[in-house]
């Protein structure tokens, strides 16, 4: 366990650096577009963040015996989709937040209209990158389909819609809340794993194991996010805390209480680790990452 945490720390820094260098290339030297659009995209994309989804792409690729370098474009594409979702999530019409990744939110800096467009551009660029930079073409097409399904109406956007609706109607059962979390957060984490695996040439069995891991980690990740909204530190998180209750959000802690939420998250992480146990040593970093989700303070 300690050994795998060290392994993860070492690889996390190195992999993160590689992803960030490529993200910079994609945005700064990429699109021929108005300066303000490039600046607003770069502003949120290059503002840090844990880069959890790109790291998942690369670790899944490694776990399935692939070369993570070949998965860097997919790692960048997922981070672009995630960043777009954050920009839109922060808008006044949604969560109305002023702070993200330690800086004023995109709409505070660039205005609401430009923030919508920065999100639109990141979402679109992500698919251009997958289509052009993942080889062979059949794998690129499968990656596009996986990411579209995870980000779209069946996935993240559907989950965000249910989350907005629940602000009005409330959520009374754990099943309803779980269904929201699985879509809103879980599906994109699963897509990260599936893309990494596809690029490594994984078989259906590997994809199934990783999807099981992703569902559990996704739920636990959102439980941790809800708990950190309650007890976390704004400075460490780089975003406002103690907002969910004021918005009437149904969260794990609001439904189950803090202690039971923590127990549920721990159980999910154990299940995630079990799901990737058949990968043996190649899956150790994924297990360490799952543990990080529980222990994180940011
Ligand atoms: C925040 O995601 C939104 C949720 C899905 C809970 P992250 O906590 O991964 O945010 P960054 O990428 O580190 O900023
Ligand atoms: C948003 O969840 C998840 C997304 C799909 C963007 P939250 O609204 O809880 O995320 P934070 O707390 O603002 O990061
Ligand atoms: Mg939200
Ligand atoms: Mg939010
Ligand atoms: Mg939150």
CA 223, 244, 94, 34 torsion: positive or negative?
A: negative
For residue 99, the cross-strand partners are: 104
- Closest atom of ligand 1 to CA, residue 85: 3
Q: What confidence score (pLDDT) does residue 1 get?
A: 47
pLDDT at residue 9, as a whole number: 65
Q: Determine the distance from the C-alpha atom of residue 111 to the mean position of all C-alpha atoms in its chain, rounded to a whole number.
A: 25
Atom of ligand 2 nearest to the CA of 160: 5
Per-residue pLDDT at 231: 92
Closest residue CA from atom 3 of ligand 1: 86
Is residue 226 in contact with ligand 1, taking CB distance under 6 Å?
no
pLDDT at 198: 98
Written as six digits, the tokens of 119 are 């999100």
- Residue 289's Cβ-side half-sphere holds a number of Cα atoms within 13 Å equal to 30
Contact 91, 116 (CB under 8 A): yes
Expressed in angstroms and rounded, the spacing between residue 17 Cα and the centre of ligand 5 is: 26
Using a 6 Å cutoff on CB, does residue 185 contact ligand 1?
Answer: yes
Strand-pair category, 99-100 with 103-104: antiparallel
Cα(189) to ligand 4 centroid in Å equals 17
49 lines ligand 1 (CB under 6 A): yes
- Reference 197, options 80, 63, 290, 70; nearest CA is 63
CA of 160 to the centre of ligand 3 (A): 7
Closest ligand to Cα 189:
1
Q: Ligand 5 centroid to 246 CA: how many Å?
A: 12
Question: Model pTM greater than 0.85?
Answer: yes
Q: What is the mean pLDDT of each run of 10 residues along the chain (298 residues)?
A: 56 89 92 94 95 96 95 98 98 97 98 98 98 97 98 98 91 91 95 98 96 96 94 93 86 92 96 97 94 89
Nearest CA to ligand 2 atom 7: 89
The per-residue pLDDT for range 119-172, each reduced to its tens digit, is: 999 999 999 999 999 999 999 999 999 999 999 999 999 999 999 999 888 888
The predicted pLDDT at position 247 comes to 82
Q: Probe ligand 2: pick from 119, 225, 250, 254, max atoms within 8 Å of CB?
A: 225
Q: What is the pLDDT of residue 13?
A: 86
Mutational pocket test of ligand 1: of 45, 48, 49, 265, the residue with most ligand atoms within 8 Å of the beta carbon: 49
Does residue 184 have its Cβ closer than 6 Å to ligand 2? yes
């Amino acid at each position: 366990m300690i050994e795998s945490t060290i392994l993860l720390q070492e690889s996390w820094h190195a992999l993160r650096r590689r992803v960030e260098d490529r993200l910079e290339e994609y945005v700064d030297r990429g699109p021929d577009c108005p300066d303000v659009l490039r600046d607003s995209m770069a502003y949120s994309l290059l503002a840090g963040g844990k880069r959890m989804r790109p790291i998942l792409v690369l670790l899944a690729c490694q776990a399935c015996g692939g070369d993570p370098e070949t998965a860097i474009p997919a790692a960048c594409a997922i981070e672009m989709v995630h960043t777009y979702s954050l920009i839109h999530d922060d808008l006044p019409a949604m969560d109305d937040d002023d702070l993200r990744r330690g800086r004023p939110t995109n709409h505070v800096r660039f205005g609401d209209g430009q923030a919508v467009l920065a999100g639109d551009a990141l979402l679109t660029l992500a698919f251009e990158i997958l289509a052009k930079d993942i080889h062979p073409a059949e794998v690129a097409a499968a990656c596009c389909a996986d990411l579209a399904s995870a980000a779209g109406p069946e996935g993240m956007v559907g989950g965000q819609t249910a989350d907005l609706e629940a602000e009005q109607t409330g959520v009374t059962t754990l099943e309803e809340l779980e269904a929201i979390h699985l879509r809103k957060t879980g599906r994109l984490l699963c897509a990260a794993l599936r893309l990494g695996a596809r690029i490594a040439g994984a078989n259906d069995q590997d994809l199934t194991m990783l999807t099981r891991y992703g569902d559990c980690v996704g739920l636990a990740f959102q439980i941790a996010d809800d708990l950190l909204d309650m007890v976390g530190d704004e400075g460490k998180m780089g975003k406002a805390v103690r907002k969910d209750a004021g918005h009437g959000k149904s969260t794990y802690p609001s439904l189950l209480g803090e202690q039971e939420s923590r127990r549920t998250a721990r159980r999910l992480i154990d299940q995630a680790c079990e799901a990737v146990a058949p990968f043996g040593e190649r899956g150790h970093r994924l297990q360490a990452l799952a543990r990080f989700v529980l222990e994180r303070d940011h």
